[in-house]
Chains A and B, each alone.
Chain A
Amino acid sequence: MKMLSILFLGLLISGNALSSTNILFLGDSLTEGQGVDENQAFPRLVEKYLREKKHDVVVTNGGVSGSTSASGVNRLKWHLKKKTDIMVLELGANDGLRGLKLTETRKNLEEIIHLAKDKKVKVLLVGVLMPTNYGKKYTGEFEQMYKTIAAAEKVPFLPFILNGVATKTELNQADGMHPNPKGHEIIARTVTAFVEKNL
């Protein structure tokens, strides 16, 4: 515990962390950058691109592979121990892939957003789409769920993070699900524009 406290303290007293805009990416394997270098995963690239555009930002990659929306609240509590100004929420894809009830997913995502708002953290919601093999009904409902949350919670919303990357063999790893470094680069460009607009 003490060691963690020291680490947090270290981060808190860092002048850089105090003056910069701290962005937390809370997500799953896409955010974590499963299968690629941490520096090649899109959150780190977003940091790089924003800095190139003279924005003083510090990004924390809070992605955990395989995570569902149910883990979000607890993980956010962990991250909120340090200064966080913006949270980019990218969760729910694994809920969909496992065919979980969307009412549960929606409830979880809303809880995360409420917690962030309570702590004065600006929320940016990022959505994903389900593969078409999940059926018209489920994929439709899944897509609608994000739109409904964004509207209800009045948070900026990026409908499809994998736009321009999904289904393209050359931009994905062998599993066809996770982007390769080139795919992450495209995602980073999309997300950078979205974040920059909402800084």
Chain B
Amino acid sequence: MSFMKFFWRDFKSDRSFNWFYVLCASLGIIGLLLVESFKVGVEDKIAKNAKNFIASDLSISTRRALDEKELKTIEEYLAEKKFNYARWTETYSLVMKVQKNTDHEGPLSKLADLNFVTPEFPFYGSVVLEDQGRKGPGDWSSIHATPTVWMSRDLSWELNLKVGDHVKIGETVFTVGGIILQDQFSSFRGFNLAPKIFLSYNFLPQTQLVKFGSTATFSFAIKLPDDTKTKEIRKELRSLLIDKSIKIAGPKEASQQISKSLDLLSDYLSLITLMTYLLSLVGLYYFTQHFLSKKLKTFSIYKAMGLKTSFLFKVNFIHLIVVTTFAVVISTGIIVGVLPFLEIFFSKLVGEELFFRLNAMSLVRILSLSLGGSLLALGPLFWGALQTPVATIFQDLPMELKRIKFYYFIPLFLYVIVLAHLLANSFKVGSLFLGALGAIIILAAICFKVVTSLLDRASGTLAFVNRHAVRTLSRYFTSSFTIFICLLMGMTLTTFIFQLEGSLRKEFTQTFGNKRPDLFIFDLQDTQAEKFEQITKAEGWNRTMFAPMIRGRLLKINDKPTQKKETPGESDVNFQTREEENSESMRNRGVNLSYRPQLSWSETLVEGKFNGEKCIPSKRPCEISLEQNYAKRLGANLGDKLVFDISGIEIEGIVTSMRTVKWTSFEPNFFILFQPGVLEEAPKTFLASIKVKDYAEKQRVFTKMAQTFPSVSLLEVSEIVRKLNAVFDLMVVAIKFISFLSLFVALVVLIAVSFNHLELRKREMGLFYMLGLKLDTIKKIYGREFSFLIVFCFVLSIVFGTGLTVLIMKNIFNSEIVYRLRFVVPVMAALGFLLFTIVSLRVRQLVKNKNLF
């Protein structure tokens, strides 16, 4: 008989397996595709939001004027590619209110961040104007026709301006055409020191502001066609513009904060994808094992007929490929067909606009994942089954697969590690995660063996139903252990996902909780500190932080100088590239130090002991607390002695604690904190943050501060926070949604595993019935057995899931864990109860089914 003919006959004879396999595998793949499509959708939306920051798909910017050759290169390249672009020049200058009668105090003028833009601007993003609404792409014509400006509300307060008033900028008088309430664009000049103004590029020459000796950022905001590969364009542009001071950046690079958070979210979602996949693989594995245990006799017959093991393996392996491919095609078809409806349904369900997107890359990734994983996980099962001796032909009961060796799964193990690496872009994530899972399996095996042996010994004293349930667990160890592990892994991963979700959600939201300030005040002098305190109290402002800041320079770590000792001009000239220069700047730059009696809400002690008591330098060295990552970069550890130069005086201290800092809290935080008692006398300025109740209070703070401390700078951070918040909100929804999705997948897999396990026990149930046991008693036996398994798994999954979360949060996300046991325990208990109910119903159905006998 030819191979094909044999294959086809064998394939047809396993019709029920084929359909069940396709069903189970499709469920898993649908779960994967859902997670992946949601991940792609969220990343798309976030990337789109980030595009608003730079108003385009790609930006070229530089802090120096581009020379004619560079300008020509850029313009010719953009013309050749037929890309639309806008020019955007940003500079700081004084804006003066034009008044008819100038009083004796002189004209009102303030520093502003001027943004000169061409009519094409913006391609993405918008501003919201008071009484005029949102102005998006195509709505900016009014500033280009006549000299008109749109200015931020803060500036209008400070200069007492309204629409229709006039301001002088450089040598030109402009009319105030709009007051900006919100704007989505970020600044190329880093942390904005001044309120923004948008005005037409057409009037830039008239202002005479940008010429030789000016400091400005010159940018091209480029709109790319939808199908353009940004990476390639960036590469091409970089090859044309070799000076590294010309930055070519996409939306992601435009905001470090967004970029960091996106990476975090991507890591998380990838981890969930991997877990959902492993969960579905567990279900598939168990189901195939069940099928093979039924087919062992058939294999023995084939072998008795003289067919070689390798031939049979080939047949079955191809069988596996065919059914998996079929499952892939069906599930992809279903998902692609229902994605638009899913978007609407889930958006309504969670009350947020959700996006599901699949791109070619994600499809290829998921499909290869499904096929590769299934073959590597199930192939060894088939190979093991084919090793069964021909003698089993004479056995009557379904066999267990005992000939599968551990090392059969090494390729799968390696595959999952590679997969984790590819999915999470991190070898560490995969290795750590899988290592932890391996450790859990070993620990669980020990626990299970010990508990079931103890129960077996004590079973003599138990009633029949309990005795039988207990003895089944210990005597059919392999079978019981397999389902135990499947249940445990499912429940542990679910516990883990929920704990991780809580921790990550806190990571995003606590930053923007009620504690975040709205205004940031800096450069308050020593002599002004007391008066500021008095005003704060008198006005009833909610001052969230008041911190001294001392400028210093790190000289030595453990008596070794940290500064690079080179004579300028004598160092290697090749060393002076922009990158090397930047790196040198990082190493040699001065540092800001502070002191405080206790850590703030945005700081967490991770190592050592923070000392906020007053230090007496003559008795012992003062203590220093370092921010953990800064300490790593510095190579400093607990117990190290650091020496700083504070305005010509050397001050030393010993590192006694490490902290993590939530930099996005927008609170004044420092890499280096000294114990109080040593820096109080040093020259310093103060930083303060204020949380305001409402718009009116914000205006009052601005006015009062401008009147009392004209030299003090006030920065509104609520607008920056609002921009980031929009992105983070979406991330929180993503995390929440994906967690529930994985819970659903876990439930489906656990049910499938339990049902398959019961299928194996069908004959046993029949035997009990024939021996005269009542149906109720049979139901009780299996009910008790499952109750034990579920309760045992429930307890262990809480412990292991929490342990896994601690491990992952600490080592991958470098963050603290938020214990959500009050939420996780009831959810897992409900999951266990639901599973138990479904299993009980299935037992009842099986016992009633005549086919049983």
Contact = CB atoms under 8 A, between A and B. Distances in A.
Interface of A: 1-4, 6-8, 24, 32-40, 45, 60-62, 64-68, 70-71, 73-75, 78-79, 82, 95, 97-101, 104, 108, 129, 131-138, 166-167, 169, 173-177, 180-182, 184-185
Interface stretch (B212-220, B469-477, B753-761): B212-220
Contact of A3 (B525, B582, B678): B678
Nearest to B107: A137
Interface in B615-639: 616-618, 622
Contacts, number: 183
19 contacts: A2-B618, A3-B622, A4-B651, A34-B590, A39-B565, A61-B648, A62-B647, A68-B523, A68-B711, A71-B683, A78-B647, A98-B111, A132-B212, A133-B91, A133-B170, A133-B209, A136-B171, A169-B245, A174-B582
Contacts of B215: 131, 133, 176-177
A64 B523 contact: no
A175 B210 contact: no
Contacts of A180: 576, 581
Contacts of B551: 32, 64-67
Contacts of B588: 33, 35-38, 40
Contacts of B582: 173-174
A101 B105 CA distance: 11
A182 B616 CA distance: 43
A135 B209 CA distance: 6
Contacts of A182: 568-569, 576
A101 B584 contact: no
Contacts of B584: 35-37
Contacts of B351: none
Given A40-B568, A68-B523, A74-B525, A132 B213 contact: yes
Given A71-B526, A99-B94, 16 more contacts: A35-B589, A37-B563, A38-B645, A39-B563, A39-B567, A70-B711, A71-B523, A75-B683, A99-B110, A100-B711, A132-B210, A133-B210, A135-B93, A174-B63, A185-B568, A185-B569
Interface string B190-212: 00011000000000000011111
Q: Name the residue in A135, A182, A185 with the highest tally of chain B Cβ atoms < 10 Å from its Cβ.
A: A135
Nearest to B109: A99
A185 B573 CA distance: 14
Contact of B213 (A60, A68, A166): A166
A132 B677 CA distance: 45
Contacts of A95: 711
A36 B588 CA distance: 6
B581 A38 contact: no
Nearest to A178: B585
Interface in B563-608: 563-569, 571, 576, 578, 581-582, 584-585, 588-590
Given A132-B212, A133-B209, A134-B94, A60 B648 contact: yes
Contacts of B213: 129, 131-132, 166-167
Interface residues of B, dominant DSSP: loop
Interface string B205-239: 00011111111100000000000000000000000
Contact of B525 (A62, A71, A131): A71
B681 interface: yes
Nearest to A103: B106
Contacts of B565: 37, 39
B527 interface: yes
Given A3-B678, A136-B171, A174-B581, A37 B566 contact: yes
Contacts of B111: 98-99
A14 to B, nearest CB: 13
B64 interface: yes
A137 B215 CA distance: 17
Contacts of B647: 60, 62, 64, 75, 78-79
B634 to A, nearest CB: 16
A143 B605 CA distance: 49
A109 B439 CA distance: 68
Interface string B692-718: 000000000000000000110100000
Nearest to B585: A35
Contact of B193 (A36, A67, A98, A129): A98
A1 B649 CA distance: 13
B650 interface: yes
B265 to A, nearest CB: 30
A146 B547 CA distance: 33
B158 to A, nearest CB: 11
Given A64-B551, A78-B681, A173-B581, A3 B569 contact: no
A66 B63 CA distance: 19
B166 to A, nearest CB: 16
Contacts of A60: 647-648
A90 B556 CA distance: 27
B691 interface: no
A177 B190 CA distance: 14
Contacts of A98: 111, 193-194, 713
Nearest to B711: A70
A21 to B, nearest CB: 15
Given A65-B590, A131-B214, A78 B683 contact: yes
A45 B568 contact: yes
A33 B213 CA distance: 21
B779 interface: no
A184 to B, nearest CB: 6
A76 B569 CA distance: 32
A8 B650 CA distance: 10
A132 B213 CA distance: 6
Contacts of B710: 100-101, 104
A185 B566 CA distance: 13
Nearest to B682: A78
A25 to B, nearest CB: 10
B97 to A, nearest CB: 13
Contacts of A6: 618
A175 B588 CA distance: 16
A4 B585 contact: no
Contact of B523 (A34, A70, A79, A134): A70
Contact of B590 (A32, A71, A73): A32
Nearest to A130: B213
A95 B64 CA distance: 22
Given A2-B617, A4-B681, A133 B585 contact: no
Given A40-B568, A79-B648, A176-B64, A134 B92 contact: yes
Contacts of A173: 581-582, 585
A64 B681 CA distance: 16
A4 B170 CA distance: 49
Contacts of B245: 169, 174
Nearest to B622: A3
Nearest to A35: B585
A175 B63 contact: yes
A67 to B, nearest CB: 7
B553 interface: yes
Contact of B649 (A4, A34, A37, A133): A4
B685 interface: yes
Nearest to A62: B647
Interface string B839-850: 000000000000
A134 B711 contact: no
Given A70-B711, A182-B576, A133 B214 contact: yes
A78 B571 CA distance: 35
A68 B211 CA distance: 26
Contacts of B92: 97, 99, 133-134
Nearest to A3: B617
Contacts of A134: 92-94, 209
Given A2-B616, A174-B582, A181 B193 contact: no
Contact of B170 (A2, A24, A135): A135
Nearest to A166: B213
A39 B570 CA distance: 13
A44 B193 CA distance: 31
Q: Name the residue in B171, B215, B618 with the highest tally of chain A Cβ atoms < 10 Å from its Cβ.
A: B215
